[in-house]
Amino acid sequence: MMNYDEIHTIAAQLDPPSRPGHLKVEWVLPERLAIGRDSDNRHLLVLGGPPVHAAAESVQRALMGGSWASESGVDVEGTVLRLHSGDEFMVAITTIAVELLRRGLGNRPAVDVFPEVEGFIELVIRRVLLPHEALLGLVGELLVLDLLLDAFAGRSEHASPETVGLWKGHSRSSRDFRLNRLGLEVKTTGRPTSHHHIGSLDQVEARTLDGENVEALHLVSIGLREDAAATSRFSVAGLTDSILSKLGGKDKDRFLDQLRQYGPDDCVGYNHATMAAWEPYARGFVMTFPPRVYDMSDPNLGIIRSRELQQHFPFVMPEGLSFVVELPDDVPGSHGANPRTGLPAELSRLVGLYA
């Protein structure tokens, strides 16, 4: 059985195949386990035999079963685990291969051994890559930031706004964007309706700011799904490039630093310089419905508020309270005024009111 150093040496010597769509693989255990690269230079691991499925969504998204042409001319059949290019992923692929061998892949089928190693694979993916929900959220927030830059650019009296400083979503702030009294909470969903998880009452409840000023809170509802045609410019990498093209030197550096802070505490965030070509960040999205901007001061929304909670449920503490909302595309009683659609025009209107 090969050890770590032997497998790592093989992985380090593998070059990507020259033909698009092909794999270059080296069998560590003939017909059972191989490591390799694809034509996009991603590190991969092949498990021979019946298709392997993962319990974790993040791992399942990295798996693909089928048959592939190899550069040697011999078809490769099985389940492919695709990670990404870079030394950290070569180390990960090597470690995963060693663990599969150590747990008896030579004598047991992959479908039995793989679940024992899946936890480590999930940890690698979660530590290095943003979870899918966070990825969707980042695309939504970048889309709003990109449009806010356009809104400010159209105002001659604000030719050089501190726009990047408006974005708070990269931090642990409960508000994604802040512009004087205006607060924007961006919620992104993969569904065709405004179905959103609300993590706390702060996300849907206006705050009292300094003095007696009350926050003008608006919720931006965005629906996104993966673009099968791969023609959309709405990707993390694409939107980042668009935003960078509209910023000056110091703002560019600050924005890139903010991106590296984005996501859960156990994730490294998004490093545009090294991760832009990675599939999750290059993946395009299309909208599932026209974005909607909800005025959260509208009493017709019927959302839980602290006052109602205290009045009717005095023993329920708001701390830690979370819930799901299904916001209508026309709030009853608002007479068509809530929500507003046409996101670029609406953000421009709000900037005009509160800048």
pLDDT, tens digit, for every residue of 114-159? Answer: 999 999 888 888 777 788 888 899 999 999 999 999 998 877 554 4
**Per-residue pLDDT tens digits for 265-282:** 777 788 999 888 777 888
Quick one: which of 127, 115, 141, 162 has its CA closest to 259?
Answer: 141
Q: What is the DSSP string of 149-217?
A: HHHHHT-GGGSS---GGGB-TTTT-S-SEEETTEEEEEEEESSSSEEEEE--GGGTSPPB-STT-B-EE
Q: Provide the whole-model pTM.
A: 0.78
pLDDT at 70: 67
Domain that holds residue 18: 4-128
Q: Are 292 and 194 within one domain? A: yes
Q: Which residues pair with 166 in a beta bridge?
A: none
CB-neighbour burial class of residue 94 (10 A; exposed 0-12, middle 13-18, buried 19+) = buried
pLDDT at 157: 55
pLDDT at 84: 84
In the structure, what pLDDT confidence band is assigned to residue 162 with cuts at 50, 70 and 90?
Answer: low
Q: Are 216 and 324 within one domain? A: yes
In the structure, what pLDDT confidence band is assigned to residue 173 with cuts at 50, 70 and 90?
Answer: low
pLDDT at 159: 44
CA distances 149 to 123, 140, 177, Å, are 36, 15, 13
Of 56 and 73, the structure prediction assigns the larger pLDDT to 56
Residues 272 and 237: beta-carbon distance below 8 Å: yes
**Per-residue pLDDT tens digits for 226-252:** 887 777 779 999 999 999 999 888 889
Which two structure tokens, joined as six digits, stand for 45? 């691991």
Distance, in Å, from the CA atom of 299 to the CA atom of 174, rounded to the nearest integer, reads 21
Produce one character per residue of 290-324: b if its CB has 16 or more CB atoms within 10 Å, e if not: ebbbbbbeeeebebbbeeeeeeeeeeeeeeeeeee
Report how many domains make up the chain: 2
Mean pLDDT score of the chain: 88
Which of 112, 128, 144 finishes a domain?
128
Residue 243 makes CB contacts below 8 A (sequence gap 6+) with: 142, 145, 146, 149, 255
Q: Are 296 and 186 within one domain? A: yes
Which of 108, 128, 148 finishes a domain?
128
In the structure, what pLDDT confidence band is assigned to residue 71 with cuts at 50, 70 and 90?
Answer: low
Q: Are 163 and 59 within one domain? A: no
Say yes or no to pLDDT of 163 above 70.
no
Q: Are 88 and 199 within one domain? A: no
**Per-residue pLDDT tens digits for 326-343:** 999 999 999 889 999 999
Residue 232 region by backbone torsions, left for phi larger than 0, else alpha for psi between -120 and 50, else beta: beta
Quick one: which of 24, 52, 42 has its CA closest to 109?
Answer: 52
Quick one: which of 154, 176, 156 has its CA closest to 167?
Answer: 176
pLDDT at 160: 45
pLDDT at 197: 94
Q: Summarize the confidence of residues 99-106 as an average pLDDT.
A: 91
Specify the residue for token string 């205006």. Answer: 182
**Per-residue pLDDT tens digits for 9-39:** 999 999 998 888 888 889 999 888 999 998 8
**Per-residue pLDDT tens digits for 288-327:** 999 999 999 999 998 888 888 888 888 988 888 899 999 9
Q: Are 137 and 256 within one domain? A: yes
Query: Of the ranges 186-195, 277-286, 287-296, which one carries the lowest mean pLDDT score?
Result: 277-286
Which of 128, 149, 167 finishes a domain?
128
